[in-house]
Amino acid sequence: MARLLTRFVTFRKELATLWRAFMAPETPVHLKALMLLVPAYLLSPIDMVPDFIPLLGWVDDFVVIPLMVSWIVAMLPRKAPVYERTADGAKVIDGTYRKR
């Protein structure tokens, strides 16, 4: 149960990341087009498993949508690291780590 909750929290963060990336002008157009596939899949009457099949129709949405979101987030470009000098003259890379 805790693993499912962790995955849900991760999914919410990934959705927020997708939204920010969609609004950012530096995001490539082809990735923005892929992002539009997520709501299109939800609204489309064509599914892998039709929604009128009890329970299975919804389960495929609960699996496919998070997979699509994670896949698109993994393809987003990352910002280039910023190099800084410390007081003693050493080069330091200021960046963020993102687990795949």
Highest mean pLDDT: which range of 47-51, 55-59, 70-74: 70-74
Would you mind telling me the total number of residues written for the chain in this entry? 100
Q: Distance between CA atoms of 42 and 89, rounded to whole angstroms?
A: 53
* pTM of the complete model: 0.68
Query: To the nearest 5 percent, what fractions of the chain are helix, strand and coil?
Result: 55, 10, 35
Half-sphere exposure of 36 (CA within 13 A, CB side): 6
The answer on pLDDT for 63 being more than 60 is yes
- Spatial contact of 30 and 24, defined as CB atoms under 8 Å apart: no
| % of the chain surpassing 70 pLDDT | 80
Average pLDDT over residues 26-50: 85
Judged by average pLDDT, the poorest of 15-19, 33-37, 44-48, 75-79 is 44-48
Q: Which two tokens stand for residue 55?
A: 């329970």
